[in-house]
Chains A and B, each alone.
Chain A
Amino acid sequence: MNDPKLQVSTIPVVRFSLDRSVATAFGCIILMLLGGALYSREFLSPEYLLQQLQISAFLGIIASGAMMVILIGHIDLSIPWTVTLGAMMATAVAGWYGDAGAVFAIPAGVLCGALVGLLNGLGVAYLRLPSMIFTLGMNAVVQGLMVLHTGGFAPQDHATDAMHFLAVGRPIFGFPNALFIWILIGAFTTFLLTRTVFGRRVYAVGNRETAAYLSGINTNAVIIWCFILSGAAAAFAGVLLAGYSTKAYQAMGDPYLLPAIAAVVLGGTNILGGRGNYLGTIAGVILITLLQSILAVMQMPEAGRQIIYGVVILAMLLSYGRSEIDRK
């Protein structure tokens, strides 16, 4: 009875457990780098690795938000135009209000994304519509708003200096700022998921919302907050992307939806919710970015790239992402 091990194990310790999926994902990253090194020495140079991490940061920020929504068993398909919305509103605010606008540009962009997330959350939580279809409709509405916005008002689309600095600046030992931002957001997400009541509630809702509700959790609030975080993260990534490419343009978020979901799932997060940790998402994001980069460096035509991309995701998931046989 006084066995100390028993007492320790009865306390549910939430920590980074290096489970099989995360280990496999990191293993694949190392294999890819080694395979790439056979092709060219450049793949192991610090400059290349830092550049990859910088590019990963944008996907990583989007995936952080997407992960929150996937953990509660929903999905956010409004990511593409929320990314674009964040970029366009930030640059537009900077254009409308001059110097003062430059200060508020980034918060304004993120706030717009959070607003889209709030509406998504309200629709999913209170109207009880499937998130897949509601966020899809939301995506179409935001797209319509942005077409109207750019076509009707011809707003400024140039990124401000601050946005440019955050996205491509490397003031500290040549470390990219974007990477620092991702580390900050990643640390925040990890803290949220593992050290706060809210994080526990996220997992609870994802596992079985009925049980969470009966335990006295305000499940609607959890759902709404997760969607707000997803919208804000997507919009913030949009702001940074605008800084990276120096301008905001239509459909700039389109190439990020599927990689973000794929990264989260490759990292071992259950697409049905309730299971997953942030370390896996980091691995998934780096894996996807590296895969895209290696295929690009090898000058593989787009057709081959798409096929290999699909096959690799399938092969990895088949090796560790299979659900258990559910026959009881």
Chain B
Amino acid sequence: MSDLRHRLYHNGGLLAAIGLFGLMFTIYVANHPVGLTAAVAATAANKAVLLALVAMAQTLPVLTRGLDLSVGMVFILANCMASAIVVGTIGEGLLGIAAVLGAGALAGFLNGAIVVWGRLQPIITTLATGAIYYGIALYIRPGPGGDVQSDIADLATGQLFGVVPTALIILLGVVVLVWLPYRNSVLGRAAYAVGSNEQAAYMSGVPVHRAKLLAYTLAGFLAAFGGLMLTFNTYSGEASAPIAGNYTLNSIAAVVIGGTSLFGGWGSAIGSIFGAFVLRTIEDLLFVFNLDPLWQPLFQGVVLLAAVSLGALRVLRIRNRLELFV
């Protein structure tokens, strides 16, 4: 296989997600009453970046053939924490941001520690820790409220030079400063190896434990980053279980749409970003086409089911029936 074909084959899912997003976003902009203005772009970006960050977080454990059902809860926990401590002067706000991100990473590390050393299944571990994180969020914010440092918030949700949404720049920054170094590091590649075949990875001397720990820790960090951005958008914190559940489930859907295999070892966080963009654009499309609100949940559900069913095309390529039973 030539290099180009090899690359295309490996990034097929990513390219499909980008194409789908491009198509949907074009339809959206073409039918938007105002068209593509800086404000429209910023609003769309601010909403999409939240799910994109949580979807990136979800990708990392999925690559190691795990799953993190607590990303939504960490997201909400960070939201509640930020609404309590990212206040005061800009300096205090920045300290608060560091504390929130640190807490997110700690939550992720705890997940990883239980999975690695406790030897429990990731699904059930994160189900239980998710309840704990939600409890802490509820403890911090029994009712909706709080505030956030407005200078930082305005900067993070506004536009750079009046054109480019800052949220997109921040997302790009996360990709360049967190994802790409991780992807090219020893532990990042180890995560892919663990996801493909943990036994083989172990036999080859891959640091299995550290790879998993780092994947879950970074997942917590990224989910907390998303929660921080949510706070900048809403200027308040709310410990809402439905929002947390929604983000967890949508993050899994975004990961799948972005071409990452739930069986591990295949995919990328960049695909998940576009998967998240696709999901968000579906909602926006419903808005511009003025669909009856009663029909919206059904339409969203059908599109979600159809999008994930695209994965069934894999079955057509399989020649040996035994390969079906992965």
Which residues of A line the B interface, CB within 8 A? 75, 77, 123, 126-130, 132-134, 136-145, 147-148, 151-152, 209-210, 213-214, 219, 254, 258, 261-262, 265, 271-272, 301-311, 313-314, 317-318, 321-328
Contact = CB atoms under 8 A, between A and B. Distances in A.
B123 A301 contact: no
Contacts of A302: 135, 138, 142
A139 B315 CA distance: 23
A262 B127 contact: yes
Contacts of A142: 301
Contacts of A127: 309, 311-312, 315
B74 interface: no
A143 B312 contact: no
A303 B294 contact: no
24 contacts: A127-B309, A127-B312, A129-B308, A132-B67, A132-B252, A133-B262, A134-B305, A137-B253, A137-B305, A137-B308, A141-B298, A144-B295, A219-B325, A265-B124, A271-B121, A303-B135, A306-B135, A307-B132, A307-B135, A310-B131, A314-B118, A322-B120, A323-B121, A326-B198
Q: For the side of the interface on B, what is the size category?
A: 35 or more
A301 B142 contact: yes
Nearest to B245: A254
Interface string B122-149: 0111011111101110110010000000
Nearest to B310: A129
A265 B138 CA distance: 26
B29 interface: no
Given A136-B252, A143-B297, A272 B119 contact: no
Nearest to B136: A307
B152 interface: no
Contacts of A219: 325
A219 B245 CA distance: 32
Given A123-B309, A136-B249, A313 B304 contact: no
Interface string B163-175: 0000000000000
Given A141-B301, A148-B294, A303 B253 contact: no
Nearest to A138: B305
A80 B256 CA distance: 22
Give the interface centre of A254, A261, A317 by most chain B CB atoms within 10 Å: A317
A318 B114 CA distance: 9
B302 A144 contact: yes
A306 B322 CA distance: 43
Given A128-B315, A303-B135, A271 B297 contact: no
Contact of B131 (A128, A309, A324, A325): A309
Contacts of A128: 312, 314-315, 324
Contacts of B301: 137, 139-144
Given A303-B142, A306-B134, A306-B138, A317 B294 contact: no
Contacts of A325: 119
Nearest to B297: A144
Given A304-B139, A327-B202, A261 B124 contact: yes
Given A140-B297, A307-B135, A323-B119, A213 B325 contact: yes
B97 to A, nearest CB: 24
Contact of A210 (B199, B263, B325): B325
A309 B127 CA distance: 11
B121 A151 contact: no
Nearest to A131: B262
A75 B139 CA distance: 31
B197 interface: no
Contacts of A143: 297, 301
A204 B15 CA distance: 39
B120 A321 contact: yes
Contacts of B305: 134, 137-138, 140-141
Which 9 pairs of residues, A with B, have the shortest CB-CB distance? A144-B298, A306-B135, A140-B301, A310-B131, A137-B305, A307-B135, A310-B132, A127-B312, A141-B301
A258 B136 contact: no
Interface string B219-234: 0000000000000000
Nearest to B249: A136
A271 B199 contact: no
A130 B263 CA distance: 8
Contact of A326 (B138, B199, B262): B199
